[in-house]
């Protein structure tokens, strides 16, 4: 299967829907690890394939370095999802998602914050990069 912009957009919508379901069930204010485990369960229930807390290989000037970078979720090998449970979003979180996207050569990423009243309106942000722009539309 070839990934397209339309496929990634649909997948993003499904993942955000799963996060909303977790948030509706649990509400805001819990630790990130609680939301992480529950989102794993919700994604599984919806038949969405994912890798959780995947270590990202890091290479510098041709040499692999042992750096403990872990992405919260890689959805179907084509979408990065980073989750938080914080009062205020920090620009460093956005840089984290963009960095993972670049290192993994993935065109789209989501940053989801569970410490909000409404994930759809104020608890998620979508990012795309040059890899997304290279994908076919359909």
Q: Is there a domain that residue 59 lies in? A: yes
Specify the CATH number for the domain of residue 91.
3.90.320.10
The confidence score (pLDDT) of residue 113 equals 98
> Tell me: the pLDDT tens digits for 114-131?
999 999 999 999 999 999
Q: Is there a domain that residue 53 lies in? A: yes
Q: Is there a domain that residue 60 lies in? A: yes
Residue 1 has pLDDT above 90, yes or no: no
Give the three-state DSSP class for 86. Answer: coil
The confidence score (pLDDT) of residue 33 equals 97
Among candidates 10, 23, 41, 18, which has minimal Cα distance to 119?
A: 23
For the whole model, what pTM was predicted?
0.94
* Cα distance between the two ends of the chain: 12
Domains identified in the chain, total number: 1
Measured CA distances, 18 to 45, 112, 122, 133, 137 (Å): 9, 11, 16, 26, 24
Give the three-state DSSP class for 88. Answer: coil
> Tell me: the pLDDT tens digits for 48-68?
999 999 988 888 999 998 888
Print the domain residue range for 61.
5-133
Q: Is there a domain that residue 138 lies in? A: no
> Tell me: the pLDDT tens digits for 68-112?
889 999 999 999 999 999 999 999 999 999 999 999 999 999 999
Cα dihedral 43, 12, 52, 124 sign: negative
Determine the Cα–Cα distance for residues 118 and 71; give it in Å rounded to an integer.
24
The confidence score (pLDDT) of residue 59 equals 86
């Amino acid at each position: 299967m070839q990934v397209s912009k339309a496929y990634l957009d649909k997948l993003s919508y499904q993942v955000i829907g799963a996060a909303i379901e977790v948030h509706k069930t649990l509400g805001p204010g819990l630790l990130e690890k609680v939301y992480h485990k529950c989102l794993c369960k919700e994604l599984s229930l919806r038949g969405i394939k994912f890798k959780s807390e995947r270590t990202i290989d890091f290479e510098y000037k041709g040499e692999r370095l042992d750096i403990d970078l872990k992405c919260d979720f890689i959805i179907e090998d084509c979408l990065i999802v980073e989750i938080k449970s914080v009062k205020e979003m920090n620009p460093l979180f956005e840089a984290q998602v963009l960095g993972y996207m670049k290192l993994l050569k993935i065109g789209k990423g989501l940053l989801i914050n569970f410490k909000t009243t409404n994930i759809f309106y104020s608890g998620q942000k979508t990012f795309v990069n040059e890899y997304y722009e290279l994908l076919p539309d359909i």
